[in-house]
Amino acid sequence: MRSITFIVRRLLHSILVLLGLSILIFVIARVMPGNPARMAVGPRAPQEVIDRMSERMHLHEPIHVQYYYWLRDALQGDLGTSLVTRRPVVEDLKEFFPATLELTLFAGVIMGVGGILLGTVSAQHKDSWIDNALRVVSYLGVVTPSFVFAIFFLLLFGMVLGWMPTTGRLSPDVTSPPTITGLITIDSLLSGNVKAFLDALWHLTLPGVALAMGGLAQESRITRSTMSDNLTKDYIASARSLGIPEGVIMRRFLLKPSLIPTVSILGLDFAGTMGNAFLVELIFNWPGSSRYGIDTMLRKDLNAIVGVVLVLGVVFIIVNILVDIVVSLLDPRIRLSSQGGG
Amino acid sequence: MAVQTKSLSAPKSKTRERLGRSWYKFSRNTMSIVGLGFVLLVTFLAVFAPLVAPYPKHASKFVDFANASTPPGPRYLLGTDVIGRDILSRIFFGFRFSLLMGLVVLALVVPPGVTLGLIAGYYQGTWIDTAIMRITDIFLAVPPLILALSICSVLTPNLFNAMIAVSLMWWPWYTRLVYGLASTLRNEFFVKSAETMGASKFHIIFKEILPNCISPIFTKMSLDMAWVILLGASLSFVGLGVQPPRPGLGTMVAGGSDYLPEQWWISVFPALAIVVVVVGFNLLGDGLRDMFAAEEV
C-alpha cells in the first residue's frame, strides 16, 4: 500500500514537470526570432499563404491560447508537420526513435550492470592492484567525452582491427525481423530469429559501450565507495562474528544497501546518456533520432524540435520514475518518509 | 568557515599565512598539482596563442593544398588538415574558444543561480521556495545537451548563442546546490541572532548565509568549467557552436571524423586536447574540494 501511494505521488509530480517542460519548449519555439508561419511555408511563399498559415497555427492569438491549442493537439498525438521530411512529426518519431531508445537502454544496462560489477570487485579488493587499475580507468571514463570514446572505438575496433561493424543496426545479409516494438533485439527475440538477435547485439556493442563509458565509470566509483564504507559498519562485523559465509554477507547484507546511491545516480546519468547518444549516433551512422534531430535543428524545424525534445523528456522522466521505484524498494526509509507529506 | 570572513579584516601577514596553509593542503595531493599544471598550461597556450603557435595564420581562413593532410612530422608536429592547416596551431587557438565558453557561461550562470538558491533556501517551505524549485525541476528534467541544442537551433548558430543556450540550462544546478546549503544554514544560530538583532533580509541572505556557501560554489565552478567546455565542444561538434573556419575543438573533431581512419590525426588530436582540458579542470576541482574539506576539520 505504502509503495503505491509513493508511486502515485511520484507520477503526479512527473506530470507537473512534464507540463512545465512542454510550456518551456513551446515558449522557446514561439518567442525566438523569426515568424513560425514563414518558416513553415518557406522563404519565397507569397504573403497570403503566410497569412493563411499563421491563421492555421493560431499565431494571431495570445501565447497562452496558442499553447492551449498546441497542447490539445499534442494530447491527441498531433505534433504538427516536419518541414524537413514533410511528414507528421509523430510518424517521423515512430520511425527514428526506437533505434535511439534501443541504444540508450542498452547503454543504460551496461552502465548499471557493469558499474556495479566493477565497483564490487574494486571494493572487495580494496587498495590492491586491481582496485588501483580500475580507479584509474574509471577516472578516465568519467572525464572523457563519449564522442571521443566513440571515435577511438570506431578507429581501433572498427577500422584498425576490423573486429566490429561500424555502421547501422544490422548486417546487410541479415533479414530484419518484423517490426513489433521497433527495438531490433527485442523484435528478433519475439519472432525467434536468433541470428538477427546476435547480429543486432553485435552492432549495438561498440556504440553502446562508447555511450556507456562515462556512466559506467561513475557507477563503479560510487558502488566502490559506498560498499567500502559499508564494509566497516558494525552489522557486517556482527554478521561475520556469527560465522555467516563471506559470500552470503556480500550478496545479502552488503550489496543491497550499497546499491541505493548507485541506482539514484544511474537515473541522473541517463540524461547525459540520451544527450550523448546524439553525438555517438552521428559517429556510428546509427539510424536513430539524432540525424533527424540535428537536421531539423539546423533548419529550424520547430515542430520537429519540440517533438524530439518532448519525447526525450518523457523517456527521461519515465526512467527516473522507474529508478525512484527501485530505490524505494531497496530503501524502506524513502517509502516511509514520503508518507509524512515530505 | 567563519575564519574566512574574519580574515578579510585581519592583517596581511595572517592572510598570507592562511593562504600558505591552504596551498600546503592543496599541494599534498599530486593529482591536484597535475590538474593545476594542465589548467595553467592550457590558459598560457590560449592567451599567448599568436606567439606560441607555430603557424598563427592557420587559425582562420587559410589554404595550403600543397601541404594538405600531412601526417604528424617534424614540420607539422600534429599534422595538417585536409586544406593544409597546422593542427597544433589550431588547437592552441581552439583552447581560446573553450576557455572563453567556460568563463562566460559561469559568469552568466552563477549569480542568478546562486541568488535564486539562496532565496528559495531562506524561504524554505513557503510558496517562493515551491515556485523556484519546481521551475528548477523542469529545467533539470531534460538532458542538458538536448535542451542546449534546441535553444541553439532556434538562434543563429555561433559561439555567442551557444553560450546563451548553455547558460539558460546550467543555472538550475547552482540553485539546487545553494538551496540545499541555505536551507540548513538558515537554522544556524548566527542567522537566528542576526534576525533577532533586526538585520534586513538582504543582509541575512547575502552577508550571513552566502559567505558560508562560497567553498562548495567555488568547487562546483571549477568542476563545471570542465563540463561546460565539454558541452561547448559537443555543440560545436554537431555544428551549432564555433563555426568554421574558426578552430573550435569540437568543430575540428567533427571536420576530421569524415577522414577516419586514414587521416586519423585530424580529429584524434583535437579530441585529445578536449580530454586534456576536461581532465585538468576536473583534477583541479577535486583538489579544491579536498582542500576545503580539510579546512573544515
pLDDT value, residue A228: 83
- B260's CB contacts (< 8 A; 6+ apart) are A151, A154, A155, A159, B267
- The CA distance from B78 to B80, in Å, is 7
At CB < 8 A and 24+ separation, what contacts does B186-192 make? B186/B121, B186/B122, B186/B124, B190/B2
Tell whether B142 is within 8 A of chain A (Cβ).
yes
pLDDT average, residue stretch A207-217? 90
Tell me if A220 sits within 8 A of A115, measured CB to CB: yes
- The CA distance from B174 to B217, in Å, is 8
pLDDT value, residue B174: 92
Higher pLDDT, A202 or B116: B116
| CB atoms B278 and A147 under 8 Å | no
Distances (CA, A) of B253 to A11, A216, B53, B259: 41, 24, 19, 10
| CB atoms A309 and B155 under 8 Å | no
pLDDT average, residue stretch A189-216? 86
| CB atoms B271 and A148 under 8 Å | yes
pLDDT value, residue B103: 93
Q: What is the pLDDT of residues A71-93, one digit of tens each?
A: 888 888 888 888 778 888 888 88
Which secondary structure element, helix H or strand E, spans residue A96, and what is its range?
Answer: helix A89-109
Question: Which candidate from B138, B261, B272 shows the least CB-CB separation from A155?
Answer: B261
pLDDT value, residue B295: 67
pLDDT value, residue B111: 95
Interface confidence (ipTM) of the complex: 0.76
Nearest chain A alpha carbon to B237: A279
pLDDT value, residue A1: 53
Nearest chain A alpha carbon to B157: A298
Nearest chain A alpha carbon to B151: A28
| CB atoms B144 and A274 under 8 Å | no
Instruction: Calculate how close chain B gets to A138, using CA atoms only, in Å.
Output: 12
Tell me if B191 sits within 8 A of B185, measured CB to CB: yes
Q: Mean pLDDT across chain A, nearest whole number?
A: 81
Cell numbers standing for residue A173: 545479409
Tell me if B209 sits within 8 A of B191, measured CB to CB: yes
With beta carbons under 8 A apart, name residues in chain A contacting B233: 145
> Euclidean distance between the first and final Cα of chain A, in Å?
17
Which secondary structure element, helix H or strand E, spans residue B15, and what is its range?
Answer: helix B12-27
Q: Is the pLDDT of residue A340 over 50?
A: no
With beta carbons under 8 A apart, name residues in chain B contacting A296: 153
pLDDT value, residue B43: 93
Residues in chain A: 342
pLDDT value, residue B108: 94
Cell numbers standing for residue A154: 570506431
- The CA distance from A63 to A166, in Å, is 46
Give residue B244's identity as a one-letter amino acid code. P
pLDDT value, residue B2: 44
pLDDT average, residue stretch A158-175? 77
pLDDT value, residue B30: 80
Q: What is the torsion angle, in degrees rounded to the nearest 10, for the CA atoms of residue A227, residue A236, residue A3 and residue A1?
A: 170
Cis omega (within 30 of 0) on the bond before A332?
no
CB pairs under 8 A between A and B: 130
Q: Is the pLDDT of residue A335 over 70?
A: no
Q: Is the pLDDT of residue A225 over 80?
A: yes
- B29's CB contacts (< 8 A; 6+ apart) are B287, B290
With beta carbons under 8 A apart, name residues in chain B contacting A33: 154-155
| CB atoms A312 and B239 under 8 Å | no
Give pTM, 2 decimals: 0.81
pLDDT value, residue A334: 63
Q: What is the mean pLDDT of each run of 10 residues along chain B (297 residues)?
A: 46 77 81 88 91 82 79 83 86 91 94 94 89 85 78 79 87 90 88 89 90 88 88 85 84 82 85 90 85 69
Question: Which candidate from A145, A296, A316 shows the least CB-CB separation from B230?
Answer: A145
Query: Burial letters for B20-55: b for 16+ Cβ neighbours within 10 Å, e otherwise?
Result: eeeeebbeebeebeebbebbeebeebbeebeeebeb
With beta carbons under 8 A apart, name residues in chain A contacting B274: 145, 148
